[in-house]
């Protein structure tokens, strides 16, 4: 498949998805939602297709299926490949299943976490893959649906679960963590400068009832001059709590290592991240695969016996173009990294 043909076909025929690109990002009764509500613009779609255009024939893993926008583009662009789609959100699985139905038995979907990636591939019967895609973050439908509790813009439950079958919600963290533990979460997961002040304000106001109350507490805890730039004052706090609820960084580290191990020689992996913590982790895992974990001094021959698993296709992350950001402002913070199995 020629790269230009793949790019033009994707732009002309496939434009919907799943992952957002916005850093700002009590148990409630589960309610299924229509598949149509998971439609959104795919992020850096052309770059993904370009990166995976030369992979060997075999299964492509979409580890963050969402509404199936990237998956549909990959199946359309690479007709000799099959696709394995994973997602933690049962609504996303249902929506993608409807969208990808026309591709028949080329598609296998599974409700699974990153941390269970190896088990999921074994269960499906595809221990090796020709490519993988991780499009991280929370999806637009999740963010825009008030009852999911991801957004600070409206009053919703303190939920933030990507997998609504799990028990832990944002309320457990907001109303249950100690002040020091909560501050550590805010700093570790989002580099929040005012983590201590925010944690102190939250603990003093407990019990916090909903997302609107939480957002206002955060806003008031941050000094007035700092509120005037950098977007909504609560965006980093909501991001940090969401990451904690879903164990996103821990899951990502395990899942990336497993995905790299499962790549066939010449296979490629693509990861799109949306905030610095995610991108740092991806870079570390990719660098470890490229060096084989070598601990020898830089610029000297390796003497520790490390065996590289992968080669980098480019050192620096790709960014979305100006036209895409103008068309989809949520793409502004996206960073795309690529590696190839040695």
From first to last of the 342 residues of the chain, give the pLDDT tens digit. Answer: 444 444 443 333 333 444 333 343 323 333 344 444 555 578 999 999 999 999 999 999 999 999 899 999 999 999 999 999 999 999 999 999 999 999 999 999 999 988 888 888 888 888 899 999 999 988 778 888 899 999 998 899 999 999 999 999 999 999 999 999 999 999 999 999 999 999 999 999 999 999 999 999 999 999 999 998 878 999 999 999 999 999 999 999 999 999 999 999 999 999 999 999 999 999 999 999 999 988 888 888 888 888 899 998 988 999 999 999 999 888 999 999 999 999
pTM: 0.86
Residue 199 in domain: yes
Residue 100 in domain: no
Residue 191 in domain: yes
Cis omega (within 30 of 0) for bond into 207: yes
Parent domain of 219:
164-243
Return d(Cα 268, Cα 266) in angstroms, integer. 7
Exposure letters 136-169 (e unless 16+ CB within 10 A, then b): bbbbbbbbbbbebbbbbbeebbbbbbbebeeebb
Q: Return the closest-CA partner of residue 60 out of 40, 75, 41, 43.
A: 75
Residue 180 in domain: yes
Residue 215 in domain: yes
How many separate domains does the chain show?
Answer: 1
Residue 272 in domain: no
Q: Report the CATH number at residue 224.
A: 1.10.150.170
Residue 177 in domain: yes
Residue 253 burial (CB count, 10 A): 16
Q: Any idea what DSSP says for residue 153?
A: S
Residue 224 in domain: yes
């Amino acid at each position: 498949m020629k790269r230009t043909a793949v790019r033009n076909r994707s732009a002309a025929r496939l434009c919907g998805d799943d992952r957002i690109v916005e850093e700002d990002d009590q148990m409630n009764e589960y309610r299924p939602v229509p598949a149509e509500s998971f439609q959104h613009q795919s992020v850096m779609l052309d770059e993904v297709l370009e990166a995976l255009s030369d992979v060997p024939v075999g299964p492509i893993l979409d580890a963050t299926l969402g509404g199936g926008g990237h998956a549909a583009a990959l199946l359309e662009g690479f007709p000799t490949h099959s696709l394995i789609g994973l997602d933690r959100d049962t609504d996303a699985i249902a929506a993608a299943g409807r969208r990808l139905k026309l591709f028949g038995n080329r598609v296998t979907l599974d409700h699974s976490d990153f941390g269970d990636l190896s088990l999921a591939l074994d269960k499906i019967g595809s221990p090796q893959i020709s490519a993988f895609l991780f499009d991280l973050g929370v999806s637009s439908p999740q963010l825009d649906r008030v009852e999911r509790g991801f957004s600070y813009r409206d009053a919703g439950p303190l939920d933030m679960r990507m997998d609504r079958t799990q028990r832990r919600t944002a309320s457990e963290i907001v109303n249950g963590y100690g002040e020091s533990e909560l501050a550590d979460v805010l700093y570790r997961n989002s580099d929040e400068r005012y983590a201590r002040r925010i944690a102190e304000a939250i603990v003093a106001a407990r019990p916090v009832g909903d997302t609107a109350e939480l957002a206002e507490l955060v806003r008031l805890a941050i000094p007035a001059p700092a509120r005037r730039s950098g977007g909504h004052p609560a965006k980093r706090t909501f991001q940090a709590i969401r990451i904690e609820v879903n164990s996103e960084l821990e899951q990502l580290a395990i899942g990336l290592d497993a995905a790299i191990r499962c790549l066939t020689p010449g296979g490629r992996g693509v990861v799109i991240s949306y905030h610095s913590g995610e991108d740092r982790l991806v870079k570390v895992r990719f660098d470890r695969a490229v060096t084989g974990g070598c601990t020898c001094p830089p610029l000297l021959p390796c003497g520790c016996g490390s065996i590289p698993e992968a080669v980098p296709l480019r050192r620096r992350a790709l960014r979305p173009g100006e036209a895409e950001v103008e068309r989809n402002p949520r793409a502004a913070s996206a960073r795309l990294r690529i590696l190839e199995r040695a």
